[in-house]
Every structure is written in structure tokens, then in C-alpha cells.
Structure 1
Amino acid sequence: MEDRWFTVTEIDPTTYAISEYGHWEKVHSFLLLGKEQAVLIDTGLGIGNIKRITDQLTDLPIAVITTHVHADHIGSHGQFDTIYVHKEDEDWLMNGIQGLSLAQIRKDMSRDLTLTPPESFDPSTYTPFQGKPTALLQEGDVLDIGGRKLEIYHTPGHSPGHISVFDHAKGYLFTGDLLYDVTPVYAFYPSTSPEDLVASLEKIAHIAKVTQVFGSHNTLGLDPSILHEVKQAVRALREQGLVAHGTGIHRFNGFSVQF
């Protein structure tokens, strides 16, 4: 599939990454197809309408699972009828993202573009989605989309209601902004929690039968061996007393964190 803004990668015949490589954040959203419905994990930046892509990939009804409420993950939420979010991020979805001004969000959306955005994108009027979710998620929820069960892990730190999603059928672990490579995973804003982020990293590192890790930025698909590195990083951060705002960037084998 060719598109001016989005890059579609088939991970397998029922799983697609929809990526925005023309933006400096290199955001990935993920479309998962079941036998009865589909799930879209996040809706991207909102620079382009991601629904024009999902409409070409499936006729199944689509439910949106929000890993967390930051502007680069909820950009096209308004194009879908069914939206899930963790209860701790519900307020941000309805009333705006805490700790980030609209001016800063617009600046971040429009800078360092390497592809020409769609003509409909106007950074001066860009406004993050706000609206009421269809339903709230919590730790341990399982969504069965027909032969494919998706388990919700509450993994706060980057935001209060950040979640990770484990696909039991495939062994795929979708980690949102909790774990990715190249640029630092961060918890340095006042609205973040380094302590919660490290606890969340520890939680996902113990999920069994992970075959591939999919973060929401940078490299598309990481070997599950990175979870072993995460266990060691968690131990080192705690032992060295680094789990606190202002301690800077901490680099490990395959990823880094910034507090």
C-alpha cells in the first residue's frame, strides 16, 4: 500500500503496523485483526487521518485501544466510534493533557518533518482530541476479538493510565511509550513518575511467552531478549539510587531511560 504520509508494514497476515516516519517521533500504531472485530492500538499523530488506511486494511468493526493519552497517540481518535482508555488517563482524554501546553504540542507536531504532510494539516490550528471514551480499561482486562485475546497490563509512569497490551495468540507485546529503542523512554515531566515507570518495566519483563516487543517509536519490533536487559536495568537503577526526577539519561543495552 502506498500513501503519502503513512507507511504500512505487514507483521503477519492479521497484524499491521501503521507508521509515521516523516515525523521526528517515528510513531507506530498497530492494527490487529480478529475473526469478529479489529483493534487499533493508538491512532497516531493526527497529521494524517489514519482511518483512510484502516478502511483499506479491513471491513471489520474497529475498537481503539489507547496506550496512553499523549497527542502523538490519540491524533485520529475522533474518526472512530469505540475508544478504550485506562481509567487513570480518562480525565486527560476528556479534559486535556496535564503538563503540556497547546503551544508546545503544536510546536512538537510541526517541527523536523521529513515528508510533506497532507494538505489538511495546519499546525497553527492543530488541537489534540478530547472526548469521552466508550469504556475504561484496568489491569487484567482481556479483550477477545475472535480467536485472539488481548490482555491489558497497567504500566504507569510515562502517564498515570499508560497500558501495555499482550497478544496471547501471537506472543506480541505492545509497550506503547514504556519500552522502545534509539531515543530515551522518558519520565521527566511533572506529570510522570520514575518510580512507577521502573515498576512497570519490571512488570513487563516477567511476562511469559513473548515472541516480539513492539514499542510505539523508532525500530519496528524488538527481540524479546530486550526484556532480560530490562530486568538488569531495573536492578541497576534501584541499587544506584537513580529512580528520581532530575537524574538524567541512563543507558542500557538496547534502550535508555530519562528521568
Structure 2
Amino acid sequence: MVAIKDPWFTVQAIDETTFAISEYGHWEKVHSYLLIGEEQAALIDTGLGIDSIKRITDQLTNLPIIVLTTHVHWDHIGGHGEFEKLYVHKDEEDWLINGIQKLPIEQIRKDVSRDITIATPATFQVETYRPFQGSPTGLLNDGDEINIGNRILTIYHTPGHSPGHVSILDTKNGYLFTGDLLYDETPIYAFFPTTNPTDLVESLEKISKVPHVTKIYGAHNTIGLHADILKEVQDAVRVLRENDLVRFGTGVHTFKGFSIQF
């Protein structure tokens, strides 16, 4: 098993071919995930872009890497420019190329630079920081299957937090990578103008029915939630609908293991 010590990233081995690459020095506590197949590797998101995530992936594999984007928010596409093959859901192709409209760079720079608890690299200058913009290699659609060599990754379109958000199932191991659709400790967000509460709840219901899930790996906070949380998700969906809470402005709703803010 590879052991990596790095001044910015923390690397956790989930198994011999699956790694979480985390940025704990930033308030987002964002995770990217490297999945290694027999023919190529898939990097799910590329983090904040404060430091070079490719420095880490180069130590973990010599295989060609494809980047699978859960969604086009700045904290998940920061290292996209370091890789050649980038994939995104078709509903966020425009965001990847042109950026998110009405999200000023000043706000992004404020968010990326606040509440940092460890030293950032000399190459990081908040005054010049910009989220990645560029054309994807290809587009993802609901139901797509990507074979990285004896390891098939299934794409689930799970909008709500963003229009083109996807979750990714590693069918070999039962790992479900949920991006910003499901994680613990801090609220799942669906209160921005670019979010959709109804879509988010439908997406939660969708992933709660994905078969053979063993672990859930969200993009923030705890790495590896037990699959039992999917039963809690089903209960939450029912409660939210029965009480007419699936709409903007109803606030934070707390359930066993996670919370949602509309």
C-alpha cells in the first residue's frame, strides 16, 4: 500500500486501488477520489486548485487518467487543467467552458481563501486564482458505463445541488461516490439560485434505490458512510414531501446522519 506524506493533501487508501485525496487545511474539507483500473484510472473531481493534485496522482499510478466531474463548482474542478481527458454531464458543459453566470470571481476568491488552517504553497495567490474553464473531452449521461479495465463505473444523473450533478457507482466494489448530493456533518445545500430542491429530493430518492451499495463516499467531511444511511435517506424524502418542505426558504432539516438546507 502506498504511503504518501504531503504538505497540502492527505491521502487515505480505501483499498489497494482506491484512494481519497483530501484537502483538510481548507474549510471545505473537500475530497477527490482516484479509482485505479487495469487499463486506466478515473479521478473523481480535482479539488480546490490551491495545490497540484497531479503531484499526488503521479505517485499513485502510472496509468492514463480520466477526470469524471461530479459537478462544476469551483471546489471540485480546481485541478482540471492538469489533466487531458475531462468528462462532465451535458447539463454543465457550458459551466465548464464559460463559468457559472452571476457568480463573481470576487466571491469565489473570498471563499477559496478563508478559514485556511495550514500553509498554502507559494504558487497559490488568491489575487490571481481562477476556477478552471475549458472544453470537456466528452459528456456524461445518465446510465453511462465507463470501463477502466475490469472495473465498471456507472453514471447516475443526480441534479438538485447543480443541474448536471452526477453520482458514480463503482459496480465492482459497491462504492457510491455522491459528490455534493450526500455527505454528513454539514448541510447539503439546495438554497442557491442555481439549485433545485425538488430535483435534489428526487435525486436522493434515486440513489437510495441503487442496488448493492456497500459504502457512500461524499465530497466533504467523513470518508466512507455506511450504506445503511440510504434507508435514512428514504425516510427523509418521505418526511420532506409529506410536510411540504421541498422548496426554497424552509431552512435546515436534520435527519439521522445528514441534513439538508433549502
Alignment correspondent of 2:76: 73
CA positional deviation for 1:98? 3.2
Query: Separation in 2 of the partners of 1:124 and 1:185?
Result: 29
**Deviation at residue 100 of structure 1 after TM alignment:** 2.0
2:49 is the alignment partner of 1:20: no
Between the two proteins, the alignment pairs up a number of residues equal to 259
- Match of residue 34, structure 1, among 34, 37, 49: 37
Q: Give the CA deviation at 1:124.
A: 1.2
- Pick one of 151, 154, 158 that aligns with 1:151: 154
1:131 is matched by which residue type in structure 2? G
TM-score (norm 2): 0.98
In 1, the alpha carbon distance for the partners of 2:26 and 2:83 equals 23
Give the TM-score normalised by the residue count of structure 1: 0.99
Native 8 Å contact 1:99 1:190 kept in 2 = no
* Counterparts of 1:53 and 1:83, CA distance in 2: 18
- SS of 2:226 mapped into structure 1: coil
RMSD: 0.5
1:100 and 2:99 aligned: no
Structure 2: which amino acid aligns with 1:139?
Answer: D
Q: Is the 8 A contact 1:177 1:215 kept in 2?
A: yes
Out of 116, 119, 124, which is 1:121 matched to?
Answer: 124
Distance in 2 (CA, whole Å) between partners of 1:68 and 1:158 is: 9
Q: Distance in 1 between matches of 2:223 and 2:111?
A: 22
**Any gaps of 5 or more consecutive residues in structure 1?**
none
For 1:191, give the aligned amino acid: T
Aligned to 1:165: 168
What CA distance in whole angstroms lies between the structure 2 residues aligned with 1:109 and 1:72?
Answer: 8
Aligned residue number for residue 177 of structure 1: 180
Which residue, out of 5, 20, 36, partners 1:2?
A: 5
Q: Secondary structure at the match of 1:124?
A: helix
> How far off its partner does 1:137 sit?
0.4
The Cα offsets for residues 123-175 of structure 1, whole Å up to 9 and x where unpaired, read as 11100000000000000000000000000000000110000000000000000
Return the alpha-carbon distance in structure 2 between the equivalents of residues 48 and 99 of structure 1: 26
What percent identity do the matched residue pairs reach?
A: 66
Runs of 4+ in 1 over 4 A off after TM superposition: none
